[in-house]
């Protein structure tokens, strides 16, 4: 990909980018300008539009990055203790004790299985939040309705 996943986005504020992706900063600024959601009057009564722009990328999510093996083991402990499988006096666990090295090995195997599963099914997961941002800027441009009268 020529842009290596980097695209331009624009929004009313630095938190929410509503328009994009665009290949150029100018396209992003123009989208914000045309919407005019960031309009304001300057000290001379001239209407302008403020647009926040940023160059951002949204890399696909890797399920394996979000698997916490310690939490998996804790959840298994809780589920087992709440099941009919346990409950005898003195049968309180922990049930799934393992060494740190064994837990690291389990994490490695689960992550590999997740990667294999995701690749085998061609699954590409995303979210709306950017994975990286750069070149953020607040730009003030002329209002798209240049004849708008001062209030």
Q: What are the DSSP calls for 79-122, one per residue?
A: HHHTSTT--STT-----S---HHHHHHHHHHHHHHHHHHHHHTT
Has residue 147 got a pLDDT over 70?
no
What mean pLDDT value characterizes the chain?
91
Lowest mean pLDDT among 3-7, 51-55, 111-115: 3-7
Instruction: Give me the pLDDT at residue 2, please.
Output: 56
d(CA 66, CA 1): 26
The helix (run of H) or strand (run of E) holding residue 30 is helix 25-35
Confidence band (pLDDT; 50, 70, 90) for 1?
Answer: very low
Confidence band (pLDDT; 50, 70, 90) for 149?
Answer: low
C-alpha pair distances (Å), 110 with each of 65, 70, 124: 11, 12, 18
Has residue 64 got a pLDDT over 90?
yes
Tally the C-alpha atoms within 13 A of residue 4's C-alpha that lie toward its C-beta: 3
pLDDT in tens, 12-52: 988 889 999 999 999 999 999 999 999 999 999 999 999 99
CB 83: neighbour CB atoms within 10 A?
A: 9
Average pLDDT of the residues in 1-18? 86
C-alpha pair distances (Å), 94 with each of 59, 75, 76, 109: 39, 12, 10, 22
Task: Provide the token pair at 29.
Answer: 């600024």
């Amino acid at each position: 990909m020529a842009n290596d996943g980097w695209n331009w986005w624009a929004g009313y504020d630095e938190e929410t980018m509503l328009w994009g992706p665009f290949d150029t900063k100018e396209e992003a600024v123009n989208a914000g300008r045309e919407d005019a959601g960031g309009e304001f009057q300057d000290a001379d009564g001239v209407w302008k539009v403020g647009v926040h722009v940023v160059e951002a990328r949204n890399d696909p999510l890797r399920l394996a990055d979000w698997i916490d093996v310690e939490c998996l083991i804790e959840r298994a402990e809780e589920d087992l203790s709440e099941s009919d499988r346990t409950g005898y006096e003195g049968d309180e666990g922990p049930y799934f004790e393992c060494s740190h090295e064994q837990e690291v090995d389990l994490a490695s195997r689960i992550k590999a299985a997740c990667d294999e599963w995701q690749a085998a099914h061609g699954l590409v997961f995303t979210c709306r939040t950017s994975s990286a941002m750069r070149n953020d800027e607040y730009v003030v441009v002329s209002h798209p309705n240049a004849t708008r009268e001062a209030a």
